[in-house]
């Protein structure tokens, strides 16, 4: 299995003929090797989406559109030769070059990441522990390409468990009278830890619009319901009272609009009239764990592209 780090680009913008070919040609002309490529076109709005992952070769400058076909082929062969001889791959330069190409030549918005990046992640918790334990154990098993750098709780219930895993735990209590000050304390802590992603592992507090705007990092939440149905609190009680035959869980990015952020992943379980509220809660916990873990993994692997209030998730 080739463990050479790769570059991943997520790009989207106005659809136009030849985009796939131009992206592939740009990578080939610089000696790169495409490992995965997937694209999608939203016919309703005419927007093109693509995720492409490739192994870049040593950078050989070729003017966009200016070099002859022979010069480009020579540059590509030199790049491949450099790669075969073990010269270092300048992935940072390749990422910058591709971003410039995608932005200025294709008119696309682009996000780049390297496959060996390990973003710094913080978990927010309250009292429920099932999602917390599941995420930490998956991380320790190597399922997530990240570093969980600490746990923030508005209660102390998970302090012992966190420290037992070797994770820092900081309790910041929140109530109606201190919410603004507590959120500023949380943001200062996250910046001190260098956090690049926050995951709400059944954190039972609503994050304010100011918190989300100031943090400057994505926040993934798990909602114990198949949104948009049964938003807010006690969704399993609502579902039982409604007599539904499916219950679900939804992982989404947190936004200023409660439970309305872009959805990353959802799943459901069948129930019958024989299931009581406790059965729904038990089944729901299993869904919450798997849905949140999958959403976190897709985000870390650079598979989620957000546009508007929707997502494209590349498999």
Write the CB contacts of 22 (distance below 8 Å, at least 6 apart in sequence): 105, 106
| Rounded CA separation 95/302 (Å) | 14
Given a contact cutoff of 8 angstroms between Cβ atoms, the answer to whether 200 and 223 are in contact is no
**Catalytic entry in 97, 210, 259, 286:** 259
Q: Residue 42: what are its φ and ψ, rounded to 5°?
A: -85, 105
DSSP string covering 86-145, please?
Answer: TPPP-HHHHHHHHHHIIIIIS--EEEEEETT---EEEEEE-S--HHHHHHHHHHHTT-SS
How many Cα atoms occupy the beta-carbon half-sphere of 5 within 13 Å? 15
Alpha-carbon distances of 175 from 127, 188, 209, rounded to whole Å: 15, 18, 17
Q: Is 82 a catalytic residue?
A: no
8 torsion bin: left (phi>0), alpha (psi -120 to 50), beta (else): beta
Cβ neighbour number for residue 148 with a 10 Å cutoff: 22
Q: How far is CA 315 from the centre of its chain?
A: 13
| Rounded CA separation 255/160 (Å) | 31
| Rounded CA separation 72/60 (Å) | 10
Catalytic center residues: 259
């Amino acid at each position: 299995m080739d463990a050479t780090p790769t570059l991943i680009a997520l790009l989207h913008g106005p659809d136009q003929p030849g985009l796939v070919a131009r992206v592939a040609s740009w990578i080939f002309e610089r000696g790169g090797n495409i490992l995965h490529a997937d694209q999608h076109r939203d016919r309703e709005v005419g927007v093109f989406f693509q995720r492409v992952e490739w192994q870049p070769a040593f950078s050989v400058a070729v003017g966009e559109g200016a070099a002859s076909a022979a010069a480009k082929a020579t540059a590509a062969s030199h790049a491949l030769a450099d790669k075969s001889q073990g010269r270092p791959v300048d992935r940072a330069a390749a990422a910058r070059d591709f971003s410039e190409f995608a932005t200025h030549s294709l008119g696309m918005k682009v996000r780049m990441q390297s496959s060996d990046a390990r973003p710094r992640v913080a978990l927010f918790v309250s009292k429920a522990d099932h999602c917390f334990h599941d995420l930490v154990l998956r991380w320790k098993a190597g399922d997530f390409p990240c570093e969980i750098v600490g746990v923030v709780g508005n209660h102390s219930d998970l302090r012992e468990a966190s420290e037992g895993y070797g994770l820092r735990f900081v309790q910041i209590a929140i109530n109606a009278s201190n919410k603004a000050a507590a959120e500023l304390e949380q943001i200062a802590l996250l910046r001190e830890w260098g956090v690049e992603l926050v995951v709400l592992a059944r954190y039972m507090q609503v994050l304010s619009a100011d918190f989300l705007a100031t943090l400057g990092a994505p926040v993934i939440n798990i909602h114990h319901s198949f949104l948009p149905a049964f938003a807010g609190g006690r969704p399993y009680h609502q579902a039982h009272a409604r007599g539904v035959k499916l219950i679900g869980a939804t992982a989404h990015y947190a936004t200023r609009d409660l439970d309305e952020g872009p959805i990353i992943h959802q799943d459901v379980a069948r129930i019958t009239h024989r299931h009581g509220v406790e059965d729904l809660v038990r089944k729901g916990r299993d869904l919450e764990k798997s849905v949140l873990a999958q959403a976190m993994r897709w985000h870390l692997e650079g598979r989620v592209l957000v546009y508007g209030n929707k997502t494209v998730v590349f498999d």
